[in-house]
Structures are given as structure tokens and as C-alpha cells.
Amino acid sequence: MALTRRALGGLTIGGTAAFTLAACGGNEGNGGSGKKELTWGISSAWESWNENTGAGNNSYGHQAMFPKTFGLDGNSSGDFQEDGSFVLNDAVWADAQVISEEPFQVEYTLTENAQWSDGEPIRVEDLIFQWYSISGNEARADQEKAQPASTTYGSKIASIEPSEKGFVVTFVEGHKDPEWLYSPTVYLPSHIIEAEFPTWQTDPAVMGEAIAWTEANLIEVVTGPWKPVEYEMGQFITYEINENYQGSVKPTIEKLTMRVVEGTESTVTELRQGTIAGSWPTQFIQEEFDKAAEDPNLEQAIYEGGVWIHLDTNVNSPFLKDQALRQAVFTAVNVKDSIERIFPGTDVSQRLNHFFGVNSPYFVDYLTETGQGSGDITKAAEILTTAGYTGVAEGETCTTPEGEAVKLVIRYGEGDGARTTISELAQAQLALLGIELELKAIPDGDLGSVLSESDFDLVVFGWSGSPTFGSGPGQYFLTGVAYGNYSFPELDEAIGKVQTTIDVEESAGYANDVEALAVPLALTLPFYDEPQGIIWNPNLVEGVKANGNSQAGPVYNVVEWKNA
């Protein structure tokens, strides 16, 4: 599949909570606002207008820009619904079918009158621009400027050509994908880009410049229900209805603003004041949700979502190049202790597979037997001592076989209670091995650049995913793609097999082969799947629903929302 897992910020829970779909509060109030506009809160900033890039692969930007794409973005051609089903964006696509298995070919059928908001028709160059952007190929685009968040899909395309119905995508020899339906197609308007960069399709350097330009400039020509009219990077986007929107469900909110409101406390305050209609707070603070529950004008939902938290290593770090040190660090970290401190009295459990949750039929646990995440200091010390490290004890200084003191830096979201807790506990555990761990917070809005620049030894963050698994192996571990600079031939070979079949079970087996190889390398340590929470004012907006399958969260059905 081609959906990119999105980097997401944090969550904090105090007290106890039941993590099941629940609603509280009432519909009492002033009987409706009568307004034709609505403001929705986004929890944090973003630093790119292009979701294809490493810096743009950000959940906050995805939510803020969703009204202009409605799922037709750099990662998909539609979106997942509450029941896990996938729906193509019918403003552009009427259908999509596999027309050949060898070579693997997919035909997309255009919706009648499929067009951009300026009236220009969808054309093959739109798909080609998207392909080149995520190809990972220097012959297509200057990769220093393109910096794609994932090349799992784009690197496998051989050609894209017009057809009688729409377009045919042909893949390279040997490539097959059981999750092909979720792949990206159209995202940015090539005719607008072409006016600025006429030779983008034939000159890789110009293509790279074009991609960089789309990061810095929000293009107002879109396919989605709304078109942007006012905006500021990382702060807000104000939309008006796209009169040329071809989707089957038409928007009714005339003026929609997606605005950053940082912190759950501030979010609840603004909700109670009526300055925003709702929000999906990244930091789930139980006390604040309790306050919201006491307000008869607010409703909330707490549910299981597709966000999971993990600790990543950077193998370009002077110390973490050593596999033994990475294994020892992961063994010393106590995941269960972190969970108990962050979610006291709940049933949140440790995640034990990078690609599959415990309820998946494809779940296999390769992690537990390694001791990673166990907090076993004795075992961690044995790993280091066997590898030639000295001073491996509390109060001592752990030194490499070459005699250099081990000092590491861990990055985490500034002001994020959960990630701060994880980092502080890791600092305490590593101190028992004589390892110094410096805590260094990531300023709000800087997560994308910290990750894309690999500005860390260790980093705690979350992936916002979906019910699919196919792109995960490549994005997490593939050479040239993973934020931790991983480059292991055996992993690359195993990753290459995941998308060589259209049989889901067989593909899942290949993904678990990647898991079996990746776990001993100690690259990414899973922590837990985050519970999610949303709050909204039913006196201001109707139609808000919880959806743990969509990377857009509750915004997934924004076109159906109405002013109350």
C-alpha cells in the first residue's frame, strides 16, 4: 500500500479512563448558532504545504489541509471509514480496477467532469507529478530537494498513461500489491506548477525546485470541497466552498477555518467560550476531558485510534552505530513502567509488533523473547560487557571498547507529558548502566525537521496510520527512507518482497519476515497504541464522528458537517 504513516505529537492521561467509544455532555444550549462559518482546532503547527515530503509528513498539517483534498492527497486517493472500509474520492474517481497481474496494471476511471477548482480538467500530468515526487529516483527529481517521506509506492511505477476511462498505472516487473487501492494518484495541480516550472517533467533539477516551491507555497487550486483563501504556515487556513467540487456530497459550511490551538487546557477553554467548534487534542489529559464532560454544551468521544508511540534510534549517531549498544538501550528501557505511569489504572498494553496489533490475525510477537522494553538492567549490562564496554554500572561511566564515555541525547515533544515521562524514565534506567542521557525537547512545530534532518540520537514520537500494513516496512526500515538512517541489505531484500503479491495473507507473512529481521537490530522500539479523544460543541457543528481508521481522525467526514 502507499499510505504514509504520519508523524504525530503526544498525549497525556492523568487519573483513570475507559478507552472505549463514549459520549458525554448534552445538546442543550442556545438552539444553534445560525452561522454559516465554523472554526476547528488543530493541536499543533506544521512546517510544509506539501504532504509528500519528510517535513510535510505531519498529522497536524494533514488535518489542516484535509478540506482541500478530502483524502486525495500525497498518500491516498480516498479515505477509510468508521467500519474500516475504504472509499475513493468520487470528486475525481468513479472506479479503480486491476486490469493485469503481469505486468501489474491498475486503471482509474475518472468521474464525469473531474476538474480542479479553477475549472481545468484532471490530466495525466497530475498523476505523473505525484509519481515523480515520491519516486526516490534522481532521474525523476533532485532527491536533496524532493526529500520524499516514502518511496515505497512511487519507486515501483513504470509508467502512467491516459486510457479511454481515465488513466492506467503500470508497475515495474515483479511488483504486486494487495493494498494497491489505497495508493496516491492526484494531489497537486500540474498546470499551476508548470506555469512556474515549465520543464519539471524533463529536468530533474527543475522538478526538485518545483517540489521545494510547493513546500513553501500553498496552491489555492484544489480538488476538494473547499479552497483556501487565507492562510499562514503552521497557524491557520481559512476556506471557502469550491464551486467546482465534483463530489457526490456537497459542503454547506460557507467559511471553514482550521486553526492551531495548542494544549488541551486551551482547547477546552476555547470550546467552552465557543471560539472553536471542536478539536482532536493530541494531549489527552483526563482532567481536561472531565471539565469538558461537565459542560452541557459539549460532547466528547474517547476511542481506539491508529496512532502508536515508539522510541527510535539514529544509526548515524557516533555511539548508536553499534548494534550491541542499541540492544542494551532497548533492553534497559521499561515500557510497562512507562505505560503504568502514563495510564494508571487502565488496560493500555505494550505494542509488540511494528505492523500488526495484537488483535490482527497476522500478529506475531518477536519482541518479548529479546527482552527489549523489559527494563532488565542485568541483561542490558551483560550485553554491553560482552561487547567490551566497561564501567557498566550505576555511579560509573559506561565507556566504549575504545575508551570513550557513552553520552546520548533523547528528543521528545516539548510540553508533552507522555513523551516527557518516557524520556525521563529512560534517562533513569540508562543511568543504572552508567550511560548519560540528555533530555532535549522538540519545540512545537519542529518535529518534521528534527526527523527529516535526523537531529537526534534517540527520539520519541508517534505514527498515525490506518488499517493497512504494506508501506510500513519500507517507511520504517528501508535504506534512504527511514528517519534513523537505517541501511541493512537483509532488511531491504525482505522489504522488497512485501509487495510482490496481491494475496494479503502472503504479503503479511513477508511483512513479518521483515519484523523478525528488524527486531534484533534494535532500531525502533514500540511502546503502545494511543487512545484518542475528540471534543466538539453540537450547538456549533453537526455530524462529527470518531474514526480511528483515518489519518485525518474526526475530520475524515468534514464535507458532511453542518452548522448547528
What pLDDT sits at residue 121? Answer: 98
- State the DSSP string of 339-392: HHHHSTTS---B---SS--TTSTT----SGGGTTTB--HHHHHHHHHHTT-B--
Pairwise CA distance, residues 350 & 357, whole Å: 10
- Distance from C-alpha of 312 to C-alpha of 325, rounded to nearest angstrom: 13
CA distance 260 to 255: 16
CB 429 within 8 A of CB 334: yes
**Both ends of the chain: CA-CA distance in Å?**
38
Count Cβ neighbours within 10 Å for each residue of 306-319 and write b for 16 or more, e otherwise: bbbbbbbbbbebeb
Residue 552's nearest CA partner among 240, 305, 241 is 305
What sign does the CA torsion over 11, 16, 17, 23 have? negative
DSSP conformation letters of 262-318: -SHHHHHHHHHHTSSSEE--SS--HHHHHHHHH-TT-EEEEEEEEEEEEEEE-TTST
Q: Which residue, 477, 466, 463, is CA-closest to 527? A: 463
> Which pLDDT score is estimated for 22?
27
- Structure confidence at residue 305 (pLDDT): 72
Among candidates 410, 408, 412, which has minimal Cα distance to 398?
408
Tell me how far apart the alpha carbons of residues 73 and 4 are, in angstroms, rounded to a whole number: 11
Rounded to whole angstroms, the Cα distance separating 11 from 284 reads: 5
Domains, the chain, in order of start with CATH, read 305-530 (3.10.105.10)
How far out from the chain centre does Cα 150 lie?
A: 11
Average pLDDT by stretches of 10, the chain with 564 residues: 44 30 30 73 95 92 97 92 92 97 96 98 98 97 94 94 98 92 96 98 98 98 98 98 98 98 93 96 81 94 84 97 98 96 84 91 96 98 98 97 98 91 98 98 88 95 80 89 93 93 92 98 94 93 93 95 96
Q: What is the C-alpha separation between 472 and 153, in angstroms, rounded?
A: 11
Query: How many Å apart are CA 267 and CA 265, to the nearest integer?
Result: 5
At 6 the pLDDT is 56
Find residue 67's DSSP bridge partners: none
The pLDDT value recorded for residue 27 is 30
Which segments within 445-486 are labelled E, that is strand?
458-464
